[in-house]
């Protein structure tokens, strides 16, 4: 930062302080959720209480068998109910998970994602063709094991 810009910044801060009432006090009335406190369970509780037929949620991380994976690009999971079952799907990955509730459907989708991540990474280019080539490229850097 240039010295002139720095000086102007301090002058602006001083001006704001000079014009703040002496009896002013900040009150923390609002509770703002951060990314760490937003879980699929809280999202599902808001959206799947009988009011919505389907919703889409980004997945930022996956956990399977005690192993945590970060996702390099968020995976959009569309969750909907058909009859007694819930479905969580991602059209790009051509995967769908099912369950008796939204959490189970999402967990099933996550298991499929991890399985196919390892499956496609284990295949050589001569073993695949067609859509498998596209999926191998997508899965190549999709998950990062923590």
**141 assigned to some structural domain:** yes
pLDDT of residue 116: 93
**14 assigned to some structural domain:** no
pLDDT of residue 105: 92
**29 assigned to some structural domain:** no
**124 assigned to some structural domain:** yes
| Sole residue written with tokens 């999709």 | 142
Contact by Cβ (8 Å): 143, 71: yes
Which candidate, 59, 61, 52, places its Cα nearest to that of 88? 59
Per-block mean pLDDT, blocks of 10 residues, the chain (146 long): 68 74 62 56 55 72 87 89 91 93 91 93 87 88 84
**6 assigned to some structural domain:** no
Query: Which residues, listed in sequence order, are joined to residue 59 by a DSSP beta bridge?
Result: 75
**44 assigned to some structural domain:** yes
**131 assigned to some structural domain:** yes
Cα–Cα distance measured from residue 74 to residue 76, given in angstroms and rounded to the nearest whole number: 6
User: How many structural domains compose the chain?
Assistant: 1
Query: Which domain, by its residues, includes 107?
Result: 34-145
Cα four-point dihedral sign 34, 36, 37, 40: positive
pLDDT of residue 51: 45
**4 assigned to some structural domain:** no
């Amino acid at each position: 930062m240039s010295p002139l810009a720095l000086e102007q910044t301090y002058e602006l801060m001083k001006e704001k302080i000079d014009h703040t009432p002496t009896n002013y006090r900040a009150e923390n009335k609002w509770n703002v959720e951060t990314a760490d406190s937003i879980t699929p369970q809280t999202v599902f509780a808001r959206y799947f209480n009988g009011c919505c037929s389907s919703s889409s949620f980004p997945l930022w991380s996956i956990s399977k068998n005690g192993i945590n994976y970060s996702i390099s690009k968020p995976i959009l999971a569309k969750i909907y109910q058909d009859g007694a079952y819930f479905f969580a799907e991602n059209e790009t990955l051509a995967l769908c998970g099912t369950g008796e509730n939204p959490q189970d459907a999402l967990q099933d989708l996550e298991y499929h994602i991890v399985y196919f991540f390892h499956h496609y990474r284990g295949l050589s280019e001569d073993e695949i063709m067609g859509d498998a080539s596209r999926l191998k490229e997508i899965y190549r850097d999709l998950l990062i094991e923590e």
